[in-house]
Amino acid sequence: MALAFISSIGLSQTYQYGWNYYQDEGNPNGINTESDAPGQNAWIDIFTGGTSTNVWSDNVAIPFTLEYYGSVVTDLKASTNGIVTFDTASTLLPNTTSLLPSAFDIGADEFNPAAIDLDLLATLSPVGIVCEDNQQKVEVIIRNNSTDTLFTIPYQLAFTGTPADYSMVDTIPETIAPFETDTVLLNPFSTLTMDSGELSITLQAANDSYAENNVLSERLVVSHLQPTQPQFSGDTLCAPDSMAIWTASALNGTALWYTDAQSDSVIHVGSPLQANIQATTTRLVSFANRPSFT
């Protein structure tokens, strides 16, 4: 672990900064001579080693006036990679060639990314309760923590539950640059014969250094109830600046409103829809079996 210590000396309203660099295992240069707490005889590592992912602490207010490199700083935060920064809006780590301390950062630079390290951050779809669909969309967020650009990334999609298990292996065609985050559509799959179970998505890039961040699971329930014929009613207005109210309903379905038939963007979910009408206006409504909206 590398530690950097910083001090300041006030000289006629000017400031000088110095730091000493230590690189030792455990207690660098024997600086720790006291116990952490009653009954503790040594420091306890709460995080060991560097990591290519980064977790920042909450911002901490500095309870005194501090001028750092000519600027007054009021807050700081620290990361699991050993960095303390006054740039509390930043979400990035200094890279491996950064000189510490810098204009914002002090502390230990343990940022040591691997050549290949993928992080499956989140599953956007499917989640929770979904409709039966022979083209069920699968959308995930992936971060490339690697120093290498990655492409043709293999993955596995598996469903374990009732009435039967399902598994698919394929590749992601997107190219993801180092330290970039991308929203990726995987191949769709059919939920027509599924009821409920565990959906897991696993990235399977060869030589991935940290397999523990390659898997996400989601409890999935498939609803097989289809919407009935919709019923619709609404206002017919001629005056500008008038509030129109349209209502629509269908058994086992949720109203999804659109501006036109070519649009994929839902402008409102549920019924009624209210709109301030100033000109001829068209709204379309469709129904989907979307119990998660209720």
pLDDT tens by residue, 65-110: 888 877 888 998 887 666 778 888 766 655 444 455 555 556 544 4
The pairing of beta strand 215-223 with beta strand 128-131: parallel
Q: Helices H, strands E: what count in the chain? A: 0, 20
How many angstroms from the chain centroid is the CA of residue 261? 32
Q: Are 252 and 226 in contact (CB under 8 A)?
A: yes
Which CATH homologous superfamily contains domain 118-223? Immunoglobulins (2.60.40.10)
Which residue reads 């300041």 in tokens? 8
Question: For residue 197, which of 164, 161, 165 has the smallest C-alpha distance?
Answer: 161
Q: Residues of the chain with pLDDT > 70: what percent?
A: 69
Which residue reads 């523990």 in tokens? 212
Residue 277 pLDDT greater than 50, yes or no: yes
- Rounded CA-CA distance 9/231 in Å is 77
pLDDT in tens, 35-59: 555 555 655 555 555 455 567 788 8
Where do the domains of the chain lie?
A: 2-107, 118-223, 231-293
Q: Are 4 and 85 in contact (CB under 8 A)?
A: no
Question: For residue 80, which of 109, 119, 114, 104 has the smallest C-alpha distance?
Answer: 109
